[in-house]
Amino acid sequence: MSHWHHALNPIGYIDGCFPKKYATPRQPGLAPHAEGRIVLEGAWFQAACRGLEEFSHIIVIFGFQIESISTHATIRPPRFAGKKRIGIFASRSPHRPNPIGLSIVRLNKIESIKNITYLSISGIDMINGTPVLDIKPYVPYADCIPSATASWAQEPARFDVQMSSEAEATLLTLPENVRHLITEIISLDPRDGAQKKNDRTSVFTLLHYDITWTLQGTTAYVESIHLLKDVDSGPRSL
């Protein structure tokens, strides 16, 4: 067995549209309007990002924010509604022997303000505050494999989304990007396991909004969109 010991320290963190876990998409790219930024503090990082603007996409390696390391070799993925166990290495679950996550996201802009470098990214699936460990350029000739196959791991089905007149009125006051984002996230079913079992009506938090909705067949019906009083729980980047 190899020996390898390096203390890993976060280089920065994610500041985005997902203050809580269960409205966060399970993979990157599922919600293209999910925007955020990687915040890198210190002049060193401005130099370390030189040339990165030449790439349309980046690979973000981050630390999962979990309480403790899982020792389970298998998990029951939500895709199979708890009915099937697969190995942790056949899954992108956060509960892994080494809690390292990886997301490929679109890189929209890099700017440095007062020694802080901000990478604006979209298609994110990371919760606010996620510690970033590394950033690599996405190199299509090595990383994009159109012939790759993945059996059951296909893009998830989506709900149709409809708005109540109240929700529609609120939506019209929001920036266009946020309107798209809310629809994208609801279409992906932002419920945890307990909500799926027990509740007809669910609430989730996105940016600084609480969104209440009901599932009717395969249509997600949005009842209301309310601005949270504690806006600090929202992001600063949108």
Q: Is 51 in the site for its own copies (CB under 8 A)?
A: yes
Instruction: Region of 90 please: left (phi>0), alpha (psi -120 to 50) or beta.
Output: alpha
Beta bridge pairs of residue 122: 35, 106
Sign of the Cα torsion 24, 28, 33, 38 reads positive
Q: Minimal distance in Å, beta carbon 32 to its own copies?
A: 11
Q: Are 39 and 53 in contact (CB under 8 A)?
A: no
Structure tokens at 26: 């399970």
82 binds its own copies (CB under 8 A): no
Q: How would DSSP label each residue in 216-229? A: ETTEEEEEEEEE-S
Provide the minimum distance between the beta carbon of 76 and its own copies in the complex, in angstroms, as a whole number.
Answer: 12
116 counts as binding its own copies under rule CB under 8 A: no
Contacting its own copies (CB under 8 A), which of 79, 120, 138, 192?
Answer: 138
Return the range that interacts with its own copies (CB under 8 A); candidates 60-68, 158-166, 200-208, 219-227: 60-68
**Separation between Cα atoms, residue 213 and residue 209, nearest integer Å:** 13
| 136 binds its own copies per the rule CB under 8 A | yes
Q: Minimum distance from CB of 234 to its own copies (Å)?
A: 17
Total number of residues binding its own copies (CB under 8 A)?
77
Distance CA 31, CA 184 (A): 6
Q: Is 100 in the site for its own copies (CB under 8 A)?
A: yes
> Is 228 an interacting residue with respect to its own copies (CB under 8 A)?
no
